[in-house]
Amino acid sequence: MATMRRARTRIQQENRQAILAAALEVFAAQGFRGATLDQIAEAAGLSKPNLLYYFPSKEAIHADLLEGLLDIWLAPLRALDPAGDPRTEVLRYVRRKLEMSREMPRESRLFAYEILQGAPRLGPLLSGTLRTLVAEKAAVLARWMDEGRIARVHPVHLIFSIWALTQHYADFEVQVRAVLGPEGADPWPEAEAFLESLYGRLLAPGARDALTSR
């Protein structure tokens, strides 16, 4: 009997993950409003009634995906080490965010769709968990600036700029590849080199910048 219960649990977990993977594909392509339960069920290889056994609504699937995604998305910022070398830590963060855009473009676009719609499902997390984390890491950046270890720029807008410049390659991938053309089919190595040079120079101790903070 215990073996049967474990088997059912495993099957249920597999079906749940299949639904979430299918939903990610559908939401990333169609957005929340354009996606339907029928599309998600078909992509998951399940009947619609079977899907509804695991999730009561499209909203429930979307909320589950977004909450899990926010945790993944914030992990590199959480990993910024206050005891580390400042430029090394920031450049590692830039590289990891760019890697995530390369490895997780659908997740990035799902998050972008939610923000563009006014964050109806993520609003409380953005103004709570995200805001608290950004304030914490901005304080670390500001301390490094006060110590003269990196150039003084606005710490929060520095974080914003990293999000914008790295996630652009996922959210606007079609545009990036169209502009680069066939000879630029793989934008990632040059993007990484460019961003490391940009932030390395921006944050070099003693560098002057018109966008000073605070």
Please, where are the H alpha helices in the chain?
Answer: 2-34, 37-44, 48-54, 58-78, 86-103, 105-116, 123-125, 131-146, 155-171, 173-180, 188-202
The Cα–Cα gap between 4 and 179 comes to 55
The Cα–Cα gap between 138 and 118 comes to 24
- What Rg value do the Cα atoms of the chain yield, rounded? 21
pLDDT at 133 over 50: yes
Count Cβ atoms below 10 Å from residue 144 Cβ, excluding itself: 23
pLDDT at 5: 43
pLDDT at 67 over 70: yes
Q: Do residues 125 and 132 make contact, with C-beta atoms less than 8 angstroms apart?
A: no
Model pLDDT for residues 70-119, shown as the tens digit of each residue: 888 899 999 999 999 999 999 999 999 999 999 999 889 888 888 888 98
User: Biggest alpha carbon distance in the chain?
Assistant: 70
Is pTM, for the whole model, over 0.85? Answer: no
pLDDT at 184: 61
Domains of the chain, each with CATH number or no CATH: 1-56 (1.10.10.60), 58-202 (1.10.357.10)
SS3 labels along 129-150? HHHHHHHHHHHHHHHHHHCCCC
